[in-house]
Amino acid sequence: MRSWPLAFLLIVVTGCVQLPFEVDSVDEVSALLPKSMSWRASGKMLVTSKSNNQTLRFSWTHSANTVDRVVVSDSLGLRSAMLLHNKNGFFTVDSDNRLTPLSNAMAARHLALLKMAPPENWAALLTGTQLDSNTVVAQVLDWSVLDEYRVPRRLRIEANDDSLRIIINEWEVIDGE
């Protein structure tokens, strides 16, 4: 009778050993999303500065015609703000879809990271592109795959004493823009 539990354990262990290992397809993909591609990314970010620590949800839509729309909300989704960046600058968007210019001074007051990198590079940072900057350090901690492209799953972006830790739960390519 003692041999039955031992035999069962042996079958389970050898069965597990024979399972094929899954190949991590991220290593096989090396291309980053091109700037000419429209995409949407959503997830969470931890914003840490000298005066503020906050967890936020975000949805970032990047259009190939250089328009970025970022919706940021608190962790419970009770309050949100929409920012729009196009060739004319930064705007906040109210509930009636009216645009109000956002001065760089106002943005820089809230987070020093915003003034460390030109606005045109913010979407590039999110896609894992390394910037030629002495003040902004971006590091991709974990990668994922979207179609035939490598996209970040977890990022850390730091400048001086400010940092963003970003977890991207969902990437999507937007067709027809």
Phi, psi dihedrals of residue 122, rounded to the nearest 5°: -65, -45
The burial of 116, by beta-carbon neighbours within 10 Å (0-12 exposed, 13-18 middle, 19 or more buried), is given as buried
Computed over every residue of the chain, the mean pLDDT equals 77
- pLDDT tens for each residue of 11-29: 444 444 444 333 345 566 6
**What does the alpha-carbon distance between residue 116 and residue 141 come to, in Å, rounded to a whole number?**
21
**Residue burial 48-62, b: 16+ Cβ < 10 Å; e: rest:** bbeeeeeebbbbbbb
Region 110-139: mean pLDDT is: 75
Region 76-81: mean pLDDT is: 83
Region 113-118: mean pLDDT is: 62
CATH architecture of 29-173: Clam (2.50)
The domain segmentation of the chain, as residue ranges, is: 29-173
Query: Which residues lie closer than 8 Å to 121 by C-beta, 6 or more apart?
Result: 129, 131
pLDDT score recorded for residue 59: 94
- pLDDT tens for each residue of 130-158: 888 788 888 999 999 998 899 999 999 88
pLDDT score recorded for residue 176: 66
Q: In Å, what is the CA distance from 33 to each residue of 36, 62, 79, 94? A: 8, 11, 31, 30
Beta bridge partners of 92: 83, 100
Q: How many CA atoms lie within 13 A of 39 on its CB side?
A: 22
